[in-house]
Amino acid sequence: MKPNVQSRIFFYILFAFSAYLAYLLIGPYMGTVVLAAVTVTVFQPVYELFVRLAGRWRGMPVALTIVTIFVVVLVPVAGMVSLAVQQALEFSADVSKLMASIVEYPSLADLLAHINPLLAGLPFAQGFQLTPQGVYQTVESAARAVATFLAEAAISLSSASVDLVIGLVIYVSLLAALFPNYPRLIDMLRKMSPLSDEMDERYIHRVTVITKSMVRGMFVLAVTQGLVMGLFFWLGGVKYASFWTLLSIFMAMLPLGCGVVAVPVGIVHMLLGNLWQGLFILAGYAVAVSGIQYYLTPRLVSREAKLNSALVLLSVFGGLKLFGFMGLVYGPIIMIFLVTTIEIYLDYYRIAKSGMAMEEVVPPLVARPEMAILPSDEMETSQAELSAARPSSEEAIEIGTPAVRSRNLWSAMRRLPQIASWRPPGPWVRQQRS
């Protein structure tokens, strides 16, 4: 028994209302839910490996996978962030002390005496002069802002320990529930979708591929490049190497790359007189880090997941603006979802505007025997066969997409002049006249 229109409308209203209430309920932890879904998508092969190894122990694969995630990802990241924050606070304090003492150095005044005439020669900087006091105030305010931000972040993190524990419990619970039910969840999404199975498969495949590629290509590649760059910082005698390493990892996640950190650090070392250390850092970035990028990127990032660099930059910064740190993942996923939707529209719902575009999509009409003009002795038999093979009107409505219906209409219109100029063969004409 099919539901009538009123029951359908009532069900849709009830469904929308329940979905809205569910969003209000889990809204504060939506980031945790999405993070758990991304983690399950990426670590599903690891879970399947533990399933094959565990045999009859059903609960063991989930526990082993969660332990692997904590050991490989969460614990090292937490330790690295803690060390980097500590060194960043020390760095900002040392910068303030250095600038307080460097104002009295004659070298700074001599340096500014050479820079000010150069600035006076620029058309847009005439009348602008640098002073030691101005340089000191600018650098000190920037260092104070960095120190204040890091201190507030540390205080908020410590004060939000209860929320952090609750989020961690929810995250682990979601992992334990999603890992064994991942195939059924994907199958449920297919059944709930009103789109065709081909469109559903395309959406699921593209989102899954982009998620795995972003985690492997963005995080794994960025961590590898940042750690290698940090090794060169440490060997080059750079202070606060952990802080610069974490900053290099973060910049490597962006299209800008960790060269934004490595090149200025190397140049500053060269200007300070540490020529070989600066050259060593620049050579390490140019050879080792760039070589890692060109070697690992094709092996970690699928071709289907690649986006234009401008779209990646927009999606990453837009994601950071809207969602915070997790915007590094959310932004590219939203962008690839939009790109996939546009591709599906072009493939399934686009109405061609020219005959040339339509001929590229479908074969010509003469290659379709059911639409060709037949001789008179085959006309009756062919019409009977076509009538028997022709689907009903309801079936034709279901199987005919908008693009297919527009294609058939366009093909029929293109054949009208040929049909109008067609004349029957000679024997048939004589038979009619007699």
pLDDT digits (tens, 9 = 90+) for 392-414: 444 444 444 444 454 555 565 55
Say what the pLDDT of residue 13 is: 92
Residues of the chain below pLDDT 70: 1-3, 84, 87-89, 91-112, 114-116, 118-130, 132-133, 135-136, 139-140, 142-161, 255, 301-307, 350-434
What are the φ/ψ torsions at residue 4 (nearest 5 degrees)? -80, 180
Say what the pLDDT of residue 197 is: 81
Q: How many C-beta atoms lie closer than 10 Å to residue 28's C-beta? A: 11
Q: How many C-beta atoms lie closer than 10 Å to residue 320's C-beta? A: 16
Say what the pLDDT of residue 398 is: 42
Name residue 125's amino acid.
Answer: A
Say what the pLDDT of residue 369 is: 46
Distance CA 247, CA 308 (A): 24
Say what the pLDDT of residue 18 is: 92
Q: How many C-beta atoms lie closer than 10 Å to residue 71's C-beta? A: 10
Q: Give 378's Cβ-side CA count (13 Å radius).
A: 8
Distance CA 29, CA 35 (A): 10
Alpha-helix residue ranges (DSSP H) falling in 304-425: 309-323, 327-344, 355-361, 376-389, 393-399, 402-420
Say what the pLDDT of residue 8 is: 83
Q: How many C-beta atoms lie closer than 10 Å to residue 135's C-beta? A: 16
Q: What long-range pairs does 425-430 form, CB within 8 A, spacing at least 24?
A: 425/375, 425/376, 427/376, 428/376
